[in-house]
């Protein structure tokens, strides 16, 4: 239908072709060539790679995704139809648009909104019976700026190819031209324009457009212009000296916030599982595409949920293919040995995983070990270990994806480490030293006790000692007889010889 309109008209037309059509409808070489030739010099409206209503995208926090999808859509459109000129200055509003959605379009470069009359009639501030559709309205944006709006006149129902007016294409074209002439003659002179499109912004009747183009060629005051030129060639619609301002919808028609949260989780899981697959596996790319398209407002909530369920099932299938080793006991007979692990893969694809072991009394020289599990087989994974102590204790085996996330719960093994030779020698020498030290201390204390007893016995037997009540008394304990007034029993003879001048008396 688009090719038929483009081929029938000489003047410029503006088309909105979903980018996905370049991968589906336009795969036929003959149709692609026909459309490419027909649209030479015409304009294509920039669209997201997948259908994504801007209001719903912003409401779900998908502003960055919307911008990315616009870039990807532009790339596909220009690759598919390289003869047309891509324009991002016009947006066809086919469903209620919020102010935040319009602001997102403004960031993309949109300068004009084209709104069907029925949709305009539902906006707050609209005055349907009094609206001049040949002039521009506006709406306020959250950032304080505004966006002009062109409203499709109800008379454009004559361009609907599905509507049977009972007239010939020429007669319908005459009625449209008469409407234009009545507005021009009945209203004040102004810069005016009318958008030639069906009431629902579909593809108009090519036969009627051909006659309008002929009449316009013969009318000095009517010309056909590209849609992008309307904003600069049309004056505002004033009410009370001010441009009529309408408020856009409060909420988007469809909320995709819930599915967006689920897609974000699934995207992380897909990246994790993708790290397990071979580099030439095509599933990660397909998962990314399906997760992206599940955000499209072209899908119902049920259709999007079914698509996400399918991706989740495939991700779980890959993860569940990894079979952890069964718990077992093993003995470490020396300082260095290996733990034999048997890890299975029930799937048809080689899977890369990472193995990490933890134990208090063992160390693992290689740390985490990367392993490729052969498909539908059990892979032997020897893990080098170094014992640091004797005894029996648990060992945890963690299976991870190469991205570092756990594949199920850890498996607990039981390790028994026999006495280590080096540790035995250290313990033996230490015990001997402790024993020798104890014996040395014991003999020393015994010797000191025997010596004390011997000294006490010697004192008791000495002539200067005496026994009083069984106790030994020293000479210092005897009474002081130097104070006796009687004559000494023995004295010196009073001579002056040197032997007696020390005054020592003897008993």
- The residues, ordered by sequence, that sit 6+ positions from 492 with a Cβ below 8 Å of its Cβ are 500
Among all chains, which residue has been given the structure tokens 């403004």? 106
Q: Which of 69-78, 335-344, 436-445 has the highest mean pLDDT?
A: 69-78
- Tell me 157's DSSP state: G
How far apart CA 49 and CA 296 sit, in angstroms, is 10
pTM (predicted TM-score): 0.73
Strand partners, 354: 370, 400
Parallel/antiparallel/unpaired status of strands 391-400 and 322-323: unpaired
- pLDDT for 473 equals 44
Q: Tokens representing 300?
A: 């119902």
How far apart CA 489 and CA 507 sit, in angstroms, is 8
Q: Which helix (H) or strand (E) holds 430?
A: helix 421-461
- Burial bucket for residue 218 (CB in 10 Å: 0-12, 13-18, 19+): exposed
CA distances for 295 relative to 53, 61, 74, 104, angstroms: 10, 12, 19, 17
CA dihedral 118, 123, 127, 131 (to 10 degrees): -60
How far apart CA 88 and CA 19 sit, in angstroms, is 14
CA nearest to 141, candidates 176, 95, 99: 99
Query: For the segment 141-158, what is each residue's pLDDT rounded down to a tens digit?
Result: 999 999 999 999 999 999
- pLDDT for 423 equals 47
Whether 204 contacts 198, CB under 8 Å: yes
How far apart CA 2 and CA 9 sit, in angstroms, is 11
Query: For the segment 249-293, what is each residue's pLDDT rounded down to a tens digit?
Result: 999 999 999 999 999 999 999 999 999 999 999 999 999 999 999
Whether 112 contacts 131, CB under 8 Å: no
- Tell me 127's DSSP state: -
- Tell me 326's DSSP state: P
Is 66 strand, coil or helix?
helix
- Burial bucket for residue 136 (CB in 10 Å: 0-12, 13-18, 19+): buried
Query: 86-90, 463-467, 502-506: lowest mean pLDDT where?
Result: 502-506
Whether 390 contacts 417, CB under 8 Å: yes
How far apart CA 467 and CA 472 sit, in angstroms, is 5
Whether 22 contacts 49, CB under 8 Å: no
How far apart CA 366 and CA 363 sit, in angstroms, is 9
Q: What percent of the chain has pLDDT over 70?
A: 85
- pLDDT for 447 equals 73
Given a cut of 50, whether residue 136 has pLDDT beyond it is yes
Task: Give the pLDDT band (50/70/90) at residue 432.
Answer: low
**Residue 47, Cα to own-chain centre: how many angstroms?**
26
Task: Give the pLDDT mean for 398-421.
Answer: 88
Phi, psi of 269 (to 5 degrees): -65, -40
Parallel/antiparallel/unpaired status of strands 90-92 and 137-140: unpaired
- pLDDT for 305 equals 96
Whether 136 contacts 234, CB under 8 Å: yes
Query: For the segment 455-496, what is each residue's pLDDT rounded down to a tens digit?
Result: 776 666 656 554 444 444 444 444 444 444 444 444 444 444
């Amino acid at each position: 239908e688009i090719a038929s309109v483009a081929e029938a008209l000489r003047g410029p037309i503006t088309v909105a072709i979903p980018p996905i059509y370049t991968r589906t409808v336009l795969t036929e070489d003959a149709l692609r060539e026909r459309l490419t030739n027909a649209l030479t010099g015409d304009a294509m409206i920039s669209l997201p790679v997948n259908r994504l209503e801007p209001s719903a995208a912003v409401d779900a926090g998908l502003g960055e995704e919307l911008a990315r999808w616009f870039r990807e859509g532009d790339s596909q459109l220009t690759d598919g139809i390289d003869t047309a000129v891509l324009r991002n200055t016009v947006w066809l509003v086919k469903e209620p648009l919020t102010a935040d959605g319009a602001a997102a379009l403004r960031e993309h470069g949109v300068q004009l909104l084209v709104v069907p009359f029925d949709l305009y009639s539902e906006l707050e501030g609209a005055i349907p019976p009094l609206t001049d559709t040949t002039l521009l309205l506006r709406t306020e944006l959250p950032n304080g700026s505004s966006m002009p709006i062109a409203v499709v006149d109800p008379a454009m129902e004559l361009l609907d190819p599905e509507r049977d007016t009972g007239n010939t294409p020429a007669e319908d074209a005459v009625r449209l031209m008469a409407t234009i002439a009545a507005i021009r003659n009945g209203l004040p002179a102004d810069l005016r324009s009318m958008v030639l499109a069906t009431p629902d912004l579909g593809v108009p009747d090519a036969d009627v457009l051909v006659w309008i183009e002929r009449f316009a060629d013969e009318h000095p005051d009517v010309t056909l212009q590209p849609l992008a030129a309307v904003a600069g060639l049309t004056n505002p619609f004033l009410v009370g000296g001010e441009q009529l301002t309408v408020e856009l919808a409060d909420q988007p028609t469809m909320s995709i916030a819930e599915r967006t949260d689920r897609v974000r989780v699934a995207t992380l899981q897909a990246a994790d599982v993708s790290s397990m697959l071979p580099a030439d596996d095509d599933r990660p790319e397909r998962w990314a595409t399906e997760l992206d398209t599940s955000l499209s407002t072209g899908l119902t909530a049920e259709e999007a949920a079914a698509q996400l369920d399918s991706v989740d099932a495939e991700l779980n299938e890959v993860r569940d293919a990894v079979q952890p080793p069964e718990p077992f006991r093993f003995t470490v007979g020396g300082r260095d040995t290996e733990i034999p692990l048997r890890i299975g893969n029930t799937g048809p694809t080689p899977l890369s995983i990472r193995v990490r072991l933890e134990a208090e009394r063992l160390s693992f020289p290689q740390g985490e070990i990367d392993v490729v599990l052969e498909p539908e087989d059990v892979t032997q994974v020897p893990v080098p270990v170094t014992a640091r102590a004797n005894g029996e204790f648990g060992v945890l085996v963690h299976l991870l994806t190469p991205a570092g996330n756990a594949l199920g719960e850890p498996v607990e093994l039981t390790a028994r480490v026999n006495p280590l030779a080096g540790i035995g020698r250290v313990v033996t020498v230490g015990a001997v030293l402790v024993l020798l030290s104890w014996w040395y201390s014991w003999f020393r204390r015994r010797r000191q006790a025997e010596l004390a007893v011997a000294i006490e016995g010697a004192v008791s037997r000495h002539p200067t000692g005496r026994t009083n009540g069984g106790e030994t008394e020293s000479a210092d304990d005897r009474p002081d007889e130097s104070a006796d007034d009687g004559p000494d029993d023995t004295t010196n003879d009073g001579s002056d010889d040197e032997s007696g001048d020390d005054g020592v008396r003897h008993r």
